[in-house]
Structure 1
């Protein structure tokens, strides 16, 4: 799917094995650009080989979706919906998204979310869940705009560089 925002043209597509090297690099970069995600730069590092295994595994599972956003074939963002292999949880997926800081404000995260929602509805998923840092107001407003509701709060869940503890907001969207 092609998008244009503020004269920036980007494509959203399913991740392919050729993306593994770039994904490893940009995940590491994104982790160093924001505290909105779970990791600090270098923590829980995924090598290109790790991404290769992940992409191949996701391609085989009906309740997984791995998307990338690319500008001139350079990946600038990615999102992932991960479902469970357990029957009692087969109706839902967990959603996560990451965008390089230089590309914030181009609706890339919004469009990755929109494409993921469309996929979830077409594959008979009943619930999409996510977790977001309480101080990430832009993300929370975006999720609410797309129909996500707060389900819970993990109190004092993350310790950030300012030495303060922050809550994690659990949100979900339900499909009929």
Structure 2
């Protein structure tokens, strides 16, 4: 799936929101590690990112050629500073209407409108792909993310009090949220 949009951030910086391509593989991996060093709210730690550049290239090529999945990157000054994606929950008839949504942004770029732009892009892509429901899980302490999701109409659908077991803080409650697209 392809996507491209230029936006002006709240600090008047130019940000390009587009699908990641195979040429971005190294930068996507670098950004993934940076963000995982900055937060304990994501699924994995930097030392658990063990994709090779070649494996990431293959994954990005699959997403770029997919009619229903996408990896989106946010670039400022030609550097990837955020990522978002939509992925099919499954291909069986009972679940093919559902997609998972994920987003991550470097801390230096929090509060500048990038989360809003990435979320909006993923919702647009999910609708274009024909999904009827977008889903995510978020750590309950991640209040900024929850506020962002609610702004777009995501609603809480459940909680898992032992969803993550953090190396640093112990149990982290996960909130499941969903957005109906039809």
Same-fold status (TM-score > 0.5): yes
Q: Secondary structure at the match of 2:47?
A: coil
Q: Shift in Å at residue 145 of structure 1?
A: 0.8
Q: Shift in Å at residue 135 of structure 1?
A: 0.2
1: CA distance between counterparts of 2:118 and 2:141?
21
1: CA distance between counterparts of 2:78 and 2:142?
29
Q: Secondary structure at the match of 1:147?
A: coil
On the 8 A contact 1:24/1:48 being kept in 2, the answer is: yes
Q: Shift in Å at residue 159 of structure 1?
A: 2.4
Q: Where does residue 166 of structure 1 map in the other structure?
A: 172
1:2 matched to 2:6: yes
Structure 2 gaps of 5+ residues are none
Structure 1 gaps of 5+ residues are none
Q: Shift in Å at residue 47 of structure 1?
A: 2.5
Alignment of 1:20-169 (within 5 A): 20-83=25-88, 84-169=90-175
Q: Shift in Å at residue 120 of structure 1?
A: 1.6
Provide Cα deviations, 1:22-48, integer angstroms capped at 9, x if missing partner: 001110111111011111221133222
Q: Shift in Å at residue 161 of structure 1?
A: 4.5
Provide Cα deviations, 1:95-125, integer angstroms capped at 9, x if missing partner: 0011111111111111100011112222321
Q: How big is the alpha-carbon RMSD for the aligned residues of Structure 1 and Structure 2?
A: 1.4
On the 8 A contact 1:23/1:48 being kept in 2, the answer is: no
On the 8 A contact 2:155/2:179 being kept in 1, the answer is: yes
On the 8 A contact 1:31/1:42 being kept in 2, the answer is: no
On the 8 A contact 1:159/1:166 being kept in 2, the answer is: yes
Q: Secondary structure at the match of 2:120?
A: helix
On the 8 A contact 1:17/1:52 being kept in 2, the answer is: yes
Q: Shift in Å at residue 167 of structure 1?
A: 0.6
1: CA distance between counterparts of 2:55 and 2:102?
17
Runs (4+) of structure 1 exceeding 4 A deviation are none
